[in-house]
Amino acid sequence: MFPIERPRRLRRTAALRRLVAETTLAPSDMVAPLFVAEGRDEPRPITSLPGQFQHTLESLSAEARALVACGVGGVILFGVPATKDELGSGAYDADGVVQVALARLREEFGDELVVMADLCLDEYTSHGHCGVLRADGTVDNDATLDLYARAAVAQARAGAAVVAPSGMMDGQVGAIREALEAEGLVDTVIMAYAAKYASGLYGPFREAVGVQIADGGDRRSYQQDYRNRRESWREARLDVDEGADIVMVKPAMTYLDVLSDLRREVDVPLCAYHVSGEYAMVKAAAAQGWIDGPAVALEQLTAVRRAGADFVLTYFAREVAEVLNP
Ligand code: PBG
Tell me how far the alpha carbon of residue 118 lies from the centroid of ligand 1, in angstroms.
9
The CATH number that applies at residue 65 is 3.20.20.70
The pLDDT tens digits for 19-40 are 999 999 999 999 999 999 999 9
Average pLDDT, the chain: 97
The pLDDT tens digits for 258-279 are 999 999 999 999 999 999 999 9
For the chain, the first-to-last Cα distance in angstroms comes to 47
Query: How many domains, the chain?
Result: 1
Listed in sequence order, the DSSP H helices in the chain are 14-20, 57-69, 97-109, 141-158, 172-182, 203-209, 230-242, 256-265, 276-287, 293-307, 317-324
The pLDDT tens digits for 121-180 are 999 999 999 999 999 999 999 999 999 999 999 999 999 999 999 999 999 999 999 999
Residue 96 lies in a domain: yes
Residue 17 lies in a domain: no
User: What range defines the domain where residue 298 resides?
Assistant: 25-324
Q: What are phi and psi of 15, to 5 degrees?
A: -65, -40
Residue 6 scores a pLDDT above 80: yes
Tell me how far the alpha carbon of residue 25 lies from the centroid of ligand 1, in angstroms.
24
Percent of the chain with pLDDT over 70: 100
Which residue lies with its CA nearest to atom 1 of ligand 1?
Answer: 166
Residue 292 lies in a domain: yes
Percent of the chain with pLDDT over 90: 97
Please report the atom of ligand 1 found closest to the CA of residue 123: 16
Please report the atom of ligand 1 found closest to the CA of residue 279: 15
Residue 97 scores a pLDDT above 90: yes
Mean pLDDT of 187-192: 98
Asked if residues 94 and 58 have their Cβ atoms less than 8 Å apart, the reply is: no
Tell me how far the alpha carbon of residue 296 lies from the centroid of ligand 1, in angstroms.
22
Please report the atom of ligand 1 found closest to the CA of residue 201: 14
Q: Would you place residue 1 in the very low, low, confident or very high pLDDT band (cuts 50, 70, 90)?
A: low
Q: Read off the pTM.
A: 0.97
Which residue lies with its CA nearest to atom 11 of ligand 1?
Answer: 202
| pLDDT for the residue numbered 325 | 85
Residue 11 lies in a domain: no
Please report the atom of ligand 1 found closest to the CA of residue 205: 14
Which of 129, 250, 283, 305 is flagged as catalytic? 250
Residue 266 — left, alpha, or beta (φ > 0 → left; ψ -120 to 50 → alpha)? beta
Q: Would you place residue 2 in the very low, low, confident or very high pLDDT band (cuts 50, 70, 90)?
A: confident
Residue 2 lies in a domain: no
- Quickly count helices (H) and strands (E) in the chain: 11, 10
Q: Which residues form ligand 1's pocket by a CB distance below 6 Å? A: 118, 120, 122, 130, 166, 202, 205, 219, 275-276
User: Is-catalytic flag, 84?
Assistant: no
Tell me the best of 120, 274, 278, 312 to mutate to test the pocket of ligand 1, counting ligand atoms within 8 Å of each CB and taking the most. 120
Residue 261 is which amino acid? D
Residue 4 lies in a domain: no
Which residue lies with its CA nearest to atom 10 of ligand 1?
Answer: 202
The pLDDT tens digits for 158-167 are 999 999 999 9
Mean pLDDT of 66-73: 97
